[in-house]
Structures are given as C-alpha cells and as structure tokens.
Amino acid sequence: MKFQGIYPPVITPHKEDLSIDRDGFVTMIEHLIDAGVHGIIVGGTTGEYYAQSKEERVELMKLASTTIGGRLPLIVGVGAIRTEDCIEYGELARENGADAILVNAPYYACPTQLELAAHVLAVDRAVNLPIMLYNYPGRTGTLMDAEFFDRVGHSRNISAIKESSGDINQMHMLARDYPHITLLCGMDDQALEFFAWGAQGWVCGAGNCLPKEHLALYQACFVENDFRKGRRIMSALLPLMRVLEQGGKFVQSIKYGCELAGLPAGGVRRPLKDMTKEQKRDVEVVIRTLKTTIANIQDSQAEEGDSNVVALNA
C-alpha cells in the first residue's frame, strides 16, 4: 500500500451522555471523503480509542468500513499494552475490511528496542496487513530509534511511519537512513519541515475540522513543490498548531473546531475534561483567522495564474 496525502484520524462524536453518536460518526466520515482526504484512520488518539471498550472499538471499525465502502483506504489503530490484544485488534481490523493498521509502542510498559521490535513483528506476522508505525514517545514512553528500525525495516509490511516525537533529528534520520519507510508528518507544528525533507503525507488531527486547509499545504509542498506558497500557508496554520501541540487540549480543540464547522462532535470522555469558555474563544479566533488567511492566499495564487495566462495569450 502506498501512503500519500492527508490522513485524518477521525474523531468519535458523542451524545450528551458521552455514548457514541454513531450517526455523527458516519457524518464525519462522509464529510472527510467529500473534502478530498486520501485515507481515514479509525482508532487513533484523536478518536479517543483509549477511553473505549473493546466492543466500541470493534463496532467503530465495522461502521467505518461499511461507510467508506472502498472509496478510500481505511487504517485502523490497534494500540494496546499487551501484544496479544494488539494482535486481536489487528485480526479484527483485517476481518472488517481494513486496508492497513496503525501500530504504536505499548504504552506504560516501556519496552527496550529489541522488545518493541519483537512486539511489532509479532503483530505483523499475525495480521499480515500494511503497517503504519506510530512513533509518539510523549504518549507511549518509548522512542522508536535506529536499533528498532534496523530490526523491523526488512518486513515488506512496514510501509510508513507517523513520526510524532517532535525531535527534528529523528525526522532527519528517518528521511536519510530509512527512505523505504514512507515518512508521514505526525507533529503538526513541523509539517512544513517534514514536507521539505520528503514526507509524502500528513496524519493530522485538525484535518477533521479543517481538511481543505491541510490539503492546501499538501498541495503546495508535495504536489506543486512550491515552498514559498507552503510557507505562507504554514504561517497561517501555526497558531492553531501551537494550540494543538502545546496547549494541553489537543482532542478538545479539534472537537470544538468540528462544532464550529457545524459537524457532530460532543464532549470528551474522562479522564479528559472540556475546555473553558476562554479556551474555546481562543480556538475560535485562531480558526477564523487562519481560514480567511489561507483562502486569501489561494485566491491570490489563482489570480496570479490567470494573469500569467492572459500575458502569454497577449
């Protein structure tokens, strides 16, 4: 499987009692497909999988598969502490039509690099689907380093990595030393740097509420190789990226962004809590400003292109 483009980890909308809003979940997937994203991830951090029962996780992967109906690739997160549980989620994902699985380090256990490699390869052998690795030591407690990649990199299923360590040297290492593993941005405030170093896509939580703006950066940097335009778009996105990566309310901010866009979202499950009115107001201002700025950038680019066509035809 070739990973290329914008891959939002879809949120899980909730009703007032924080039960899953299944109709809202379908609405979110249709919204992302209509926006033109390149694939959808279910069971990611943004989807609050860690606060869901096994039955809920399986139901959502089934519902996503049915809703997507083969229109886009479906990637299912199989995160858990026990290797056996990750394998079970992976097998269930395969049985329910997943095109690939998202595999992170088992959180809290803090395995060594050799133990982590053995864990991933065990999941690989059992599930036999393309794998998008997910390196996020800030949440799992374990960094995937060179010793790990040397062990797992020979598997034909290790196709891509969502790199979320925040360490620019880690990103450089992956781009230079492991080019056979497709590099995907997983650190939102470094998206421009990732594309400059050859990343082929972006796994972006805020793609839920702002898919077109994320697609705009991908289009400018990866498709058009226009990093001058890309810098302008990224500059507009940065205030939101800082809120997400440094504000301590990652999922809540994305869900509120969806609410502002008229999309189903609802509250977050414990142990998280909703944002204050002041925090919501800050997110609203940031989103409103960046949408206007990026729209102006795209309009000015289109006008410049039209002017060039007129000049050539004159």
Give pLDDT tens digits for 220-279. Answer: 999 999 999 999 999 999 999 999 988 899 999 999 999 999 999 999 999 999 999 999
Q: Which of 36-50, 242-256, 292-306 has the lowest mean pLDDT?
A: 292-306
Q: Is 73 left (phi over 0), alpha (psi -120 to 50) or beta?
A: beta
**242 found inside a domain:** no
Active site residues: 134, 162
Determine the structural domain holding residue 29 and report its residue range.
5-226
For the chain, give the mean pLDDT: 96
| Residue 251 falls inside a structural domain | no
* Span 157-180, pLDDT tens digits: 999 999 999 999 999 999 999 999
**309 lies in a domain?**
no
Domain count of the fold of the chain: 1
* CB-CB contact of 129 with 101 (8 Å): yes
Q: pTM (2 decimals)?
A: 0.95
Residue 297 pLDDT greater than 80, yes or no: yes
∠ CA 99-105-109, nearest 5°, is 145
The per-residue pLDDT for 306 is 58
Is residue 264 one of the residues assigned to a domain?
no
* Residue 255, pLDDT score: 98
* Residue 133: inside a domain: yes
Q: Is 292 among the domain residues? A: no
The confidence score (pLDDT) of residue 308 equals 60
- The tens digit of pLDDT for each residue in 62-121 reads 999 999 999 999 999 999 999 999 999 999 999 999 999 999 999 999 999 999 999 999
288 in a domain, yes or no?
no
298, part of any domain: no
CATH number of the domain enclosing 82 = 3.20.20.70
What is the token pair recorded at 244? 């997400």
